[in-house]
Structure 1
Amino acid sequence: MDSSAWDRRYTDTPGLVWSAEPNRFVVEAVTDLTPGAALDVAAGEGRNAVWLAGQGWRVNAVDFSTVAVDRGRELAAARGVTVDWRVADVTTYRPVPNSYDLVLISYLHLPAADFAAVLAAARSALRPGGTLVVVGHDLANLRGGTGGPQDPSLLLTPETVVDGLAGLRVRRAETARRPVSTPDGGTVDALDTVVVANRPAD
């Protein structure tokens, strides 16, 4: 889906397409870290970027949808935090190497070669001691979960993400369950890939 299609999706949806609250796995991975410089890749409407800024991080957020970035700016203003927003295609965007203490890739689903390029750029953007967090719909979600892309070629597994993290120390790599509310007031589980890794400090 290109940027104009995402612009239409955001424009056609009243309110936020996604929750204004941060992803639970992002919170788990980041809560005990010392705030520094953070990059949110494919930030969407900015829920994670805004939360990070509220925790004291200096956040750069990148997305190719102008509408999403505008909504992110509105959310940041409403929360009274500062985020540096940039409209750019993450498949070609290259952050400055060795610049970030935290890089986040959350629910970015691309063909394998494009995702690998984004992951490589994210890895190189980390400073020594920095943390990379990757969260996305897991391949197992097709049969055992709910929601998310239905094209298996766009889905993640912990193994495929870890394969792209040469030189980093993997702290967490698993398929995790995420409860999703249903219209009848119940919940069902979505299955997400969650990977957290660090660039060695030495």
Structure 2
Amino acid sequence: MSEDVQQFWNERFGREEYVYGTSPNTFLKASAHHFPPNAKVLCIAEGEGRNALFLGQQGHQVHAVDLSTKGKSKAERLAAEHNVSLEYTICDLNEFDYGENCWDAIVSIFAHVDSASRTNIYQKAIASLKQGGIFLLESYHPKQLEYGTGGPKDVDMLVTLEDLRPHFADMKIVHEAELERDVTEGSFHTGNAYVTQLIARKRT
């Protein structure tokens, strides 16, 4: 991923405000019961840390990865303010060492990347899940371009269930949906939106 992308996110996260808010994504919050207690969770493209904070408050061991140094600083500050432990790595998602058989859950909330990167990232991520591990994703759908309430303008970075299913074909699908819902999260997710959701469990 280019330095231009890192610069884009550093500029966005360099604002004083938490630009996507400090409350967790509501789909993640509603779905967290799928995670085992005290889970080891990886949050990819975690940005300013709102979802990592929530998971840490639930007693999970959270590791975040993102390209933005500004995002990391704000996430660490947010975690410290709430006395939550957080590990955070600055890295391109394509180059991150996901490991193997080490995560109870991986969380991908609006972690938009191009289609070629998705193939690489999801393959590594699935290999890194423990047996029975959960992959939870919410992303904007291509229809989101009609809404203009957040997300990338490049359709290659938006996903449908048809795009996702081949990557998770060997996993048990716990939940999948394409739907319109309110996504109001800070300054850049601003209302009615069209999203794709997936929860998949690695078979034992």
- What TM-score do you get using the length of structure 2 for normalisation? 0.90
CA separation in 2, counterparts of 1:61 and 1:176?
Answer: 27
Superposed, which structure 2 residues align to 1:16-95 within 5 Å? 16-35=18-37, 36-95=39-98
CA separation in 1, counterparts of 2:175 and 2:162?
Answer: 11
What is the RMSD computed on CA atoms of the aligned residues?
1.6
CA 1:66 to 1:190, structure 2 compared with 1: closer, same or farther past 3 Å? same
Report the alpha carbon displacement of residue 178 of structure 1 after superposing the two structures with TM.
2.6
1:49 match: secondary structure: helix
Aligned letter for 2:20?
Answer: W
2:96 match: secondary structure: coil
Instruction: Render the CA deviation track for 1:168-194: whole Å, top value 9, x for unaligned.
Output: 11111111333145xxxxx84211110
Larger relative contact order (Cα-Cα within 8 Å, sequence gap ≥ 6): 2
Segments of 5+ residues of structure 1 without an aligned counterpart are 182-186
2:165 match: secondary structure: helix
CA separation in 2, counterparts of 1:188 and 1:66?
Answer: 28
Aligned letter for 2:27?
Answer: F
1:14 alignment counterpart: 16
Q: Does the aligned pair in 2 maintain the 1:162–1:195 contact within 8 Å?
A: no
CA separation in 2, counterparts of 1:90 and 1:77?
Answer: 25
Aligned partner (choices 150, 174, 178) of residue 175 of structure 1: 178
CA separation in 2, counterparts of 1:191 and 1:145?
Answer: 10
Aligned partner (choices 96, 102, 107) of residue 110 of structure 2: 107
Report the alpha carbon displacement of residue 32 of structure 1 after superposing the two structures with TM.
4.4
1:90 match: secondary structure: coil
CA 1:32 to 1:114, structure 2 compared with 1: closer, same or farther past 3 Å? closer
1:27 match: secondary structure: helix
1:171 match: secondary structure: strand
Instruction: Render the CA deviation track for 1:119-147: whole Å, top value 9, x for unaligned.
Output: 11111111001100011111121225632
Deviation larger for 23-32 or 63-72: 23-32
Segments of 5+ residues of structure 2 without an aligned counterpart are 185-189
Identity of aligned residues (%): 28
- What TM-score do you get using the length of structure 1 for normalisation? 0.90
Aligned partner (choices 112, 123, 127) of residue 124 of structure 1: 127
1:184 alignment counterpart: none
Q: Does the aligned pair in 2 maintain the 1:103–1:125 contact within 8 Å?
A: no
Report the alpha carbon displacement of residue 162 of structure 1 after superposing the two structures with TM.
1.7
Deviation larger for 158-167 or 60-69: 158-167
